[in-house]
């Protein structure tokens, strides 16, 4: 079994490499929340839940700036075989503050900035810049 979050990040990365306008990803709550955070931070465009045949999917509109993808890097930090947890005081900035990390806390998924403000630690899901 592969990691569905890694698959999602790779699909976004590969779609942007060939300049596709949107990408379709199988729906799950955690993938939808990750997409929502990326959309709020303007790394991707609009996200929509929809149905394709029997399967529920997420339609993600990709963003480009001057012909280059808005997301220049995606990195899965915590993997199924090795979970990475950080205390609120240990949460690092990503690429000098130009990127974000998505953290799974006791109050749901949030960015590293929000987690630090709320003094919450948790599992570091991924980094985006």
Predicted confidence at residue 2, as pLDDT, reads 82
What is the DSSP code string of 41-91?
TTSEEEEEEEEETTEEEEEEEE-EETTEES---EEE-SBTTB--EE-GGGP
Work out the widest C-alpha separation in the chain, in whole angstroms: 46
pLDDT in tens, 48-82: 999 999 999 999 999 999 989 999 999 999 999 99
Listed by start position, the domains of the chain span 4-69, 74-128
Average pLDDT, the chain: 96
Answer yes or no: CATH 3.30.1370.30 is held by domain 4-69: yes
In the CATH hierarchy, which fold is given to the domain comprising 74-128?
A: Dna Ligase; domain 1 (3.30.1490)
Tens digit of each residue's pLDDT (9 = 90 or more) over 4-48? 999 999 999 999 999 999 999 999 999 999 999 999 999 999 999
Q: Is the pLDDT of residue 1 over 60?
A: no
């Amino acid at each position: 079994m592969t990691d569905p979050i890694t698959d999602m990040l790779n699909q976004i990365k590969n779609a942007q490499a060939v300049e596709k306008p949107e990408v379709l990803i199988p729906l799950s709550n955690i993938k939808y929340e990750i997409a929502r955070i990326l959309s709020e931070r303007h790394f991707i465009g609009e996200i929509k839940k929809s149905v394709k045949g029997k399967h529920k999917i997420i339609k993600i509109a990709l963003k480009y700036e001057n012909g280059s993808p808005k997301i220049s890097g995606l990195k899965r930090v915590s993997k199924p075989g090795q979970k990475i947890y950080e205390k609120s005081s240990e949460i690092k900035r990503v690429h000098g503050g130009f990127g974000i990390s998505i953290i799974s806390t006791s109050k749901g998924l949030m960015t590293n900035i929000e987690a630090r403000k709320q003094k919450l630690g948790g599992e570091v899901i991924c980094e985006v810049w």
